[in-house]
Amino acid sequence: MNKSVGQLLRELAPQVLGAVARRHGDFAAAEDAVQEALIAAALQWPADGIPEQPRGWLFRVASRRMTDYVRSELARRRREDTAIMSPLDEEIAVEQDDALVLLFMCCHPALTPASAIALTLRAVGGLSTAEIAKAFLVPEATMAQRISRAKQSIRASEIPFSMPSDLERAARLGAVLHVLYLIFSEGYTSSIGPDLQRTDLSNEAMRLTRVLHVLLPNDGEVAGLLALMLLTDARRVARTGASGELIPLDEQERRLWDQRQIAEGTALISATLSKGSIGSYQLQAAIAAVHDEAARSEDTDWPQVFALYGLLKRMSDSPMVTLSHAIAAAMVQGPLLGLELLKTLDTDARMSGHYRLAAVRAHLHEMAGVHERAIGYYRAAAERTTSIPERNYLITKAARLKPERRG
């Protein structure tokens, strides 16, 4: 399939799904209908050309599939009448961002926060079940069941699948922000496949977060998340070499960093930190700003980073925060302290067999000069990751180290 067609379909899918689900009120059926429309487009557009209004084309095809489905369901006669009376040829309102609407719609009151986030990642982010499972640190089969149950729960609840009220939106905002964060994270460092980054995902996450910031300009965590994305994405060009290989933060050519994004992100986080209560996204943005402000890796204010991660650790039980806190501790007080802090993760089921824990242990052992252990951990991490660029990087790190001499 033509690459431009594939990229366009990925961008349009959540917008069309949001519109179809909002009109017909049945998410599971809407998702099936939109998938059929996407398949039809993938088969027709490369040969016939992309239509003048591709979103409207997808919407009309999906709506017709929905109408066929509704007609076959006697219990859904009212929805059928609504669908038949609504003109299928009308264009979707341009001023309404249906992808953002879909974000809030998926954070349904019939679902647990974890299930709502998983469902939204699938519908809005376009992530595979395997990618979502990795983000949640659970087996793929477990995540598949969770997404299936989420759809069943929505249907059984009979709560309309529609845009929530202002009060409901406020209650769902935390889940929405977490979804946007996970979509961006998967785009910035892809968990599966040959490419380190998927800019379509990270760009869409930033776009939706910008829209949300316009709607909620006084929300500190929305501003913090947008700042975090800008400050992190500013390093994107410098993260890979000519062959797509991973370049770690301390080896990047910082002159390639996007100074416009750094300035925007820094201004955002500076403004929001002065307004009072501080959340986890604001703290993460502040940490990113410290890294971006250092002209050289050795100029990084590691004591400040260590202190900020200490605050973040009190707010979050995420094992990834513990990993980052251990690295910062090693940079300030030496690798032995960092290794000691990592021991708390040995009994964390979410990190059992996770490659990042092995990778950080390898890095800290390398800092301590214990190369033999570092090599073992680098190799173990390489075996566990499903990202080809990260695997190659870890293998290379192991190959460059020489075991320390004995006796």
- CA 315-319-325 angle, to 5 degrees, is 70
In a domain, 151, yes or no: no
What pLDDT was estimated at residue 287?
97
Entry pTM: 0.77
What pLDDT was estimated at residue 200?
81
Average of pLDDT values for 95-114?
74
Of residues 189 and 25, the one with the higher pLDDT is 189
In whole numbers, what is the pLDDT of the chain averaged over residues?
A: 85
Average of pLDDT values for 270-292?
92
Please say whether the beta carbons of 83 and 151 come within 8 A.
no
Q: Name the 3-class secondary structure at 110.
A: coil
Closest CA to 116 of 205, 190, 219, 27: 27
Average of pLDDT values for 334-356?
93
Q: What is the DSSP letter of 369?
A: T
Please say whether the beta carbons of 117 and 133 come within 8 A.
no
Angstrom distance (rounded) from CA 252 to CA 79:
56
Of residues 12 and 95, the one with the higher pLDDT is 12
The amino acid at residue 120 is T
Last residue of a domain, one of 94, 112, 131: 94
Q: What percent of the chain has pLDDT over 70?
A: 90
Angstrom distance (rounded) from CA 346 to CA 344:
6
Last residue of a domain, one of 75, 94, 113: 94
What pLDDT was estimated at residue 84?
42
In a domain, 375, yes or no: yes
What pLDDT was estimated at residue 133?
85
Angstrom distance (rounded) from CA 273 to CA 283:
9
Closest CA to 38 of 61, 21, 15, 56: 61
Angstrom distance (rounded) from CA 318 to CA 320:
5
CA distances (Å), origin 193, targets 45, 144, 184, 190? 26, 20, 16, 7
Angstrom distance (rounded) from CA 263 to CA 126:
30
Angstrom distance (rounded) from CA 31 to CA 150:
13
In a domain, 150, yes or no: no
What pLDDT was estimated at residue 96?
52
DSSP characters for 40-79? Answer: HHHHHHHHH---SSHHHHHHHHHHHHHHHHHHT-GGGHHH
Query: What total of structural domains would you count in the chain?
Result: 2
> Domain of 327: which CATH number?
1.25.40.10
What pLDDT was estimated at residue 256?
97
In a domain, 235, yes or no: no
**Which structural domain, as residue segments, surrounds residue 19?**
1-94
Q: Which of 65-69, 151-155, 261-265 has the lowest mean pLDDT?
A: 65-69
Of residues 123 and 358, the one with the higher pLDDT is 358
pLDDT band, very low/low/confident/very high, at 104 (cuts 50, 70, 90):
confident
In a domain, 345, yes or no: yes
In a domain, 339, yes or no: yes
Q: Which of 183-192, 306-315, 374-383 has the lowest mean pLDDT?
A: 183-192
Residue 90 predicted with pLDDT over 50? no
Most confident range (mean pLDDT) of 35-39, 213-217, 272-276 is 213-217
In a domain, 162, yes or no: no
